[in-house]
Amino acid sequence: MAPLAVGDVIPDGNLKYFDENNQSQDVSIHSLSAGKIVVIFAVPGAFTPTCSQKHVPGFIEKAEELKSKGVAEILCISVNDQFVMKEWAKTYPDNKHIKFLADGSGAYTRALGLELDLSDKGLGIRSRRYALLVDDLKVKVANIESGGEFSVSSADEILKAL
């Protein structure tokens, strides 16, 4: 499947997360995105160096600025289970705006056409690193990284597009 591109409507899919009451929830991407401007960014894996030290912290740092420019939701997706995502989210006590969503089976990542085979590194099938700017379900910006790079999917790059 070809990767999601500018102009495409994002597919719907159910992901899992823990709410503020520590309850596991299923959430539809469309329910979080319909009628809103959202940023969806994905990482190859929770607790991995670039994801944990650069990608997520950049979005936490720029969240208020993104919100001030009309972004209603900032969603972080990883091909990890909801328990791993819950524990990873706890490592960012300053986070007030990012929802950590689990794509445990990788089904949503496959629907986007953005899977990354990291089997040679012992990680299996994961998500490519990306950042999407979505307006009412339509992709306005698709900053998709090659391999293990981190050059176009930062919060700063999304801010430039707003």
| Residue 76 annotated in active site | no
Rg from Cα positions in the chain: 14
Q: Which one is catalytic: 51, 79, 112, 118?
A: 51
Amino acid letter for position 57: P
Distance CA 141, CA 145 (A): 13
Distance CA 67, CA 140 (A): 17
Upper half-sphere CA count for residue 113 (Cβ side, 13 Å): 11
Neighbour count for residue 67 (Cβ, 10 Å):
15
Partners of 78 in the beta sheet?
A: 43, 102
Q: Which residues are catalytic?
A: 51
